[in-house]
Amino acid sequence: MIKLKTLLVEQEQDSKYPSDAPEHFGSGENIDIFGFQTKHFDICGAAVTLYNTLKENDEHKDLIIDSAKEMDHLFEMEKQVVMQEPLDHDPIKHSVELLNTISFKLGRLAELTGHDDKEKDTNFLKDHVMVIIDRAQQPETTNEDLRKWFGKGGKGGAGGGGWDRYSSEGERLGKCGDGKEGGAYAACLSAEKARKLGPKGRAAFVRRKRANQKKGGDSKKGRQKTKGKKPTYTKTGA
């Protein structure tokens, strides 16, 4: 009975991640940390072990929760990169920033709990960041760099070259990265994603993206009110 249950869990994990997913995908599980329910700890068994230990120190729960939320976000971003979901920010830069922030908070927790010798237990974080760096390989997200990046290559958009921008009607507007400041948000899609979604799917994705950006305070391109904060994500639904 136990073997059957284990087999079913393994099959579920296999269907959840792409075939080329890193080995640590599926090694963990989502857990409750002082009321915060993780959503992406399923890809890191080491993080589960770490926070199950940290939960013994409820006098420092605020710092523990803060670090767990940021780690959960790092794992979320890693999943998006591995699954090749479109991102409207630089995952490499953001993952390094998160690594520094999380490492600082975990270091502080080690001091407070008297476990300075356990620093090696957090080395697994670098492995997750390296996955993002190896698989994202995208340049700085300035308009000029986006034009260079998305405007070339054999894989990209329907109009030749890189990815294309789509409107809320699902129509192709041009190349990704050539949008004007102050204009409404479009959505960048590869030819493959655009084909899978179809006109209605593309339109729905753009509308969801615009709604999420507006909710986050970024209603117009280039006029972000949330710079320096957690980026706004929207899944394509493909």
Q: Running along the chain, 238 residues long, what does each successive block of 10 average in pLDDT?
A: 50 69 94 97 96 94 96 96 87 91 91 70 87 73 47 49 76 71 69 82 83 66 47 56
| 42's tokens | 């399923």
For residue 131, the model assigns a pLDDT of 92
For residue 155, the model assigns a pLDDT of 45
For residue 22, the model assigns a pLDDT of 93
32's CB contacts (< 8 A; 6+ apart) are: 38
CA distance 21 to 91: 17
| 91's tokens | 């995952």
For residue 40, the model assigns a pLDDT of 97
Give the sign of the dihedral formed by CA 221, CA 222, CA 224, CA 229.
Answer: positive
Q: Which pTM value belongs to this model?
A: 0.55
SS3 33: strand
For residue 191, the model assigns a pLDDT of 76
For residue 142, the model assigns a pLDDT of 45
| 72's tokens | 């959960």
For residue 74, the model assigns a pLDDT of 96
For residue 149, the model assigns a pLDDT of 47
Return the number of other C-beta atoms located less than 10 Å from residue 215's C-beta. 10
